[in-house]
């Protein structure tokens, strides 16, 4: 289908799932003149930031909380997560993202996404979206569209004996996609969702980042969305040169100039990231590092926590039920997640908006501090996700080789959970403001540094992100810290303040 036809569909809010295949932005002349793309072989492959999950059930109905407890975890539903972050008052005021589109960019995608979303919505009592199978579309209904940027791909696990890094494993990306779509919709249930998936060649994973950035450039240039959620990352040190990383920033620069907010997961390795080489047994970078795109000053980096609220009601603090991370911190609402990516960039200087921090914050010296904010992330206090793309249902709680091999319900974590939910909050802020907010980091830091910090954010002061004992980590502290940033959102107060700032 030609791109002009796609836009005609978008203008008319097409009432079916769009499965358009684009040749790629390079052939369309997208991006600023002279914004070169590094040669193949000089870029890392983007990795889905969903490394924390457990298979629970093949049923169409979700597992019970006791099922989750039996695995040493607690599982959050949309209702309990909405209550945990105080989103309800926004809905009561008529603010659920109406008229705003969130774009989700992933590799490969989930070919069953529309039907999986349909079952998720049925089971969780969420509004159905135009684009789900069997849904009769009505005026004002939010739309779900899946656009294939440069071709479809078959969902599959790595072949037996594969020496690959796993970054090209399509069934992991399918679970990532399910998480992103279902949980953007959870937080902003009336927002439109544009899922844009890229298809880098299996043996040319280094092409993944340029394809993703070109897809985002297209979204910005054609005003397809005012919020972009990115649940992928790679350590800054895995790029062959600083310039090869900087060549990829064109979409972020355009987004900042066009009122589009870009968010990115801060990573799931704490301060210890992999170099991707040697391929069979990648080496750990022996000093603290952060991941891009979250480290980019034009991106809102989202870190993670263990969420110790009641998993059924979302209210209060539950220090009795699993996991041990909540039981070991009685009375504490949230604990910094051990794997929350964070630290200080080795590429980007400290942006001006980080010049003023809440009292008691960890100091940010010359370089950009990561992340900016946080949200629930660990699968030990994870979210329920429905994904049938793997297709090969197998018994037991753990799939072979650690891959999501079975169709059904998973409890999922990672900053891949944090980022899309924050994107949903920004969509609601866009609705309140009546326009795209663009860069939100200056407003976030200004609000946090003012007298009402404690009304806008839950300050997370417990935990650390030293996942690997051989690589120094950081503690969560009062105010900003390199584990949870400024903290997690009290949505009812923060989102309207963000919209009016």
Tens digit of each residue's pLDDT (9 = 90 or more) over 138-178: 999 999 999 988 766 554 555 555 555 444 567 788 889 99
Q: What percent of the chain has pLDDT over 90?
A: 70
Whether pLDDT at 469 is above 80: yes
Average pLDDT, the chain: 85
| Cα dihedral value 119, 166, 304, 471, nearest 10 | 170
- 287: tokens are 């000093």
Q: Model confidence at 406, in pLDDT bands (50, 70, 90)? A: confident
Tens of pLDDT, residue by residue over 56-96, are 888 999 999 999 999 899 999 999 999 999 999 999 999 99
Angle at which helix 208-221 crosses helix 250-257, to 10 degrees, equals 20
How far apart are the C-alpha atoms of 311 and 81, rounded to whole Å? Answer: 8
Tens of pLDDT, residue by residue over 449-466, are 999 999 999 999 999 999
How far apart are the C-alpha atoms of 189 and 176, rounded to whole Å? Answer: 19
Please list, in sequence order, all residues whose beta carbon lies within 8 angstroms of the beta carbon of residue 51, skipping any fewer than 6 positions away.
Answer: 268, 269, 339, 414
Please list, in sequence order, all residues whose beta carbon lies within 8 angstroms of the beta carbon of residue 399, skipping any fewer than 6 positions away.
Answer: 55, 405, 406
Amino acid 7: pLDDT: 35
Q: What single string gives the DSSP state of each residue in 171-215? A: HHHHHHHHHHHHHHHHHSTTSEEEEEEE---TT-GGGHHHHHHHH
Strands 47-48 and 232-235, bridge-based pairing: antiparallel
How far apart are the C-alpha atoms of 334 and 262, rounded to whole Å? Answer: 25
How far apart are the C-alpha atoms of 64 and 121, rounded to whole Å? Answer: 17
Amino acid 52: pLDDT: 73
What average pLDDT does the segment 489-497 reach? Answer: 98
How far apart are the C-alpha atoms of 484 and 460, rounded to whole Å? Answer: 7
Q: Which of 14-18, 331-335, 439-443 has the lowest mean pLDDT?
A: 14-18
Dihedral of CA 34/35/37/43: which sign? positive
Q: Which of 17-26, 34-43, 223-232, 487-496 has the lowest mean pLDDT?
A: 17-26
Amino acid 164: pLDDT: 52
**pTM (2 decimals)?**
0.88
Whether pLDDT at 54 is above 50: yes
Amino acid 161: pLDDT: 54
Whether pLDDT at 398 is above 80: no
What letter would DSSP give residue 400? Answer: G
How far apart are the C-alpha atoms of 104 and 231, rounded to whole Å? Answer: 8
How far apart are the C-alpha atoms of 42 and 26, rounded to whole Å? Answer: 18
SS3 458: strand
Amino acid 368: pLDDT: 98
Strands 408-412 and 144-148, bridge-based pairing: unpaired
């Amino acid at each position: 289908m030609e791109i002009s036809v796609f836009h005609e569909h978008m203008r008319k809010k097409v009432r079916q799932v769009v499965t358009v295949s684009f040749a790629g932005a390079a052939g369309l002349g997208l991006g600023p003149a002279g914004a070169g793309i590094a040669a193949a072989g000089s870029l890392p492959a983007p990795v889905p930031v969903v490394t924390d999950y457990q298979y629970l059930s093949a049923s169409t109905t979700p597992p019970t909380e006791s099922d989750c407890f039996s695995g040493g975890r607690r599982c959050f539903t949309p209702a309990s997560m909405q209550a945990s972050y105080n989103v309800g008052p926004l809905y009561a005021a008529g603010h659920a993202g109406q008229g705003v589109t969130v774009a989700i960019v992933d590799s490969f995608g989930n070919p069953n996404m529309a039907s999986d979303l349909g079952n998720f919505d049925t089971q969780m009592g969420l509004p159905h979206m135009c684009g789900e199978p069997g849904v009769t579309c009505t005026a004002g209904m939010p739309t779900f569209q899946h656009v294939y940027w440069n071709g479809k791909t078959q969902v599959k696990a790595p072949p037996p004996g594969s020496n690959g890094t796993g970054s090209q494993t399509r069934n992991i990306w399918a679970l990532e996609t399910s998480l992103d779509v279902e949980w953007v919709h959870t937080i902003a249930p009336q927002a439109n969702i544009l899922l844009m998936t890229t298809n880098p060649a299996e043996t040319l994973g280094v092409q993944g980042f340029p394809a993703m950035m070109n897809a985002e450039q297209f979204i910005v240039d054609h005003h397809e969305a005012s919020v972009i959620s990115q649940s992928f990352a790679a350590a800054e040190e895995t790029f062959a040169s600083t310039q090869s990383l900087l060549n990829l920033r064109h979409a972020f620069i355009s987004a900042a100039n066009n009122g589009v907010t870009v968010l990115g997961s801060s990573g799931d390795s704490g301060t210890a990231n992999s170099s991707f080489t040697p391929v069979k047994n990648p080496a750990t970078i022996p000093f603290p590092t952060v991941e891009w795109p979250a480290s980019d000053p034009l991106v809102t980096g989202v870190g993670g926590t263990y969420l110790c609220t009641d998993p059924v009601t979302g209210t209060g603090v539950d220090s009795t039920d699993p996991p041990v991370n909540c039981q070991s911190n009685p009375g504490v609402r949230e604990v910094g997640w051990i794997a929350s990516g964070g630290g200080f960039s080795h590429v980007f200087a400290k942006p001006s908006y980080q010049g003023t921090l809440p009292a008691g914050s960890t100091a940010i010296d010359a370089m950009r501090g990561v992340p900016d904010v946080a949200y629930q992330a660990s699968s030990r206090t994870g979210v329920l996700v429905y994904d049938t793309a793997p297709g090969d249902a197998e018994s037991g709680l753990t799939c072979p080789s650690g891959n999501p091999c079975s169709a059904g319900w998973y409890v999922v974590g990672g900053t891949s959970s944090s980022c899309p939910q924050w994107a949903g909050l920004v969509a609601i802020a866009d609705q309140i403001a009546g326009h795209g907010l663009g860069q939100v980091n200056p407003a976030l830091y200004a609000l946090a540094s003012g007298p009402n910090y404690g009304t806008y954010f839950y300050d997370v002061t417990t935990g650390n992100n030293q996942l690997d004992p051989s690589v120094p980590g950081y503690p969560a502290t009062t105010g900003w810290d390199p584990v949870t940033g400024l903290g997690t959102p009290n949505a009812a107060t923060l989102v309207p303040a963000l919209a009016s700032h």
